[in-house]
Amino acid sequence: MIARCKVGVLQPDTVLPQFQDEFGDYPLMLREVLERAATADETFEWVVYDVSQGQYPAQPDECDAYVITGSRASVYDDEDWIRTLEDYVRVLHAGQIKLVGICFGHQMVARALGGETRGADVGWGVGIAESVVQHAADFMRPARSRFNLIVSHRDQVTTLPEQATLHAGSGFCPASMFSIGNHILALQGHPEFVAGYSAALMGMRREVLGESTWANGMASLELENDRDLVARWILNFLFAR
């Protein structure tokens, strides 16, 4: 039996032009990692909506599922498009339409549904970071007690929505994965990022990061990256009925 999922990418930012030739834009990164993790009977249709420019589906059920990707913006910035996206998360939640939030999307889901996101006292998280699984869900197969993902964030979810289930975290980032019901999954890390892109971002931000954070982040890229594992978890979540 063929399982088909129409995925709407709610894109709040673009990859900087100097990096696009080598790494592509966020929707392409996402498509590549998810399609590589898919089985032969899992197929996709992709639609991209530039939410920073007010592009949205005509109806929320136009797609089977949505993904909010990363952004240089903060979810608490005073921008009309950010508030519109926050409202749309509530619409998707009310309709129990599947939604995956990555980094900015993770933080947006938390803020929109009653949690809190703010600049973390610990500062920037960059490179490959480990998360420890605290509550394993059915979609987290193959099972692992911990996993590594590339991160690139200064903000963190500091308070989860009341109805959320925390799945993973670390001492640096206590809330790195959570879900709400069977329709929302949120991750701080980036399964769509490759090491080269992470290195390029850190190089661009070296002065902002400081030498110690930059050096530790670059060294961490030698660690195993569980992006394919987490991509499989996302697909299990999206295709679950």
Residue numbers annotated as active site: 103, 190, 192
Three-state DSSP string of the chain: CCEEEEEEEEECCCCCHHHHHHHCCHHHHHHHHHHHHCCCCEEEEEEEEEHHHCCCCCCHHHCCEEEECCCCCCCCCCCHHHHHHHHHHHHHHHCCCEEEEECHHHHHHHHHCCCEEEECCCCCEEEEEEEEECCCCCCCCCCCCEEEEEEEECEEEEECCCCCEEEEECCCCCCCEEEECCCEEEECCECCCCHHHHHHHHHHCHHHHCHHHHHHHHHHCCCCCCHHHHHHHHHHHHHCC
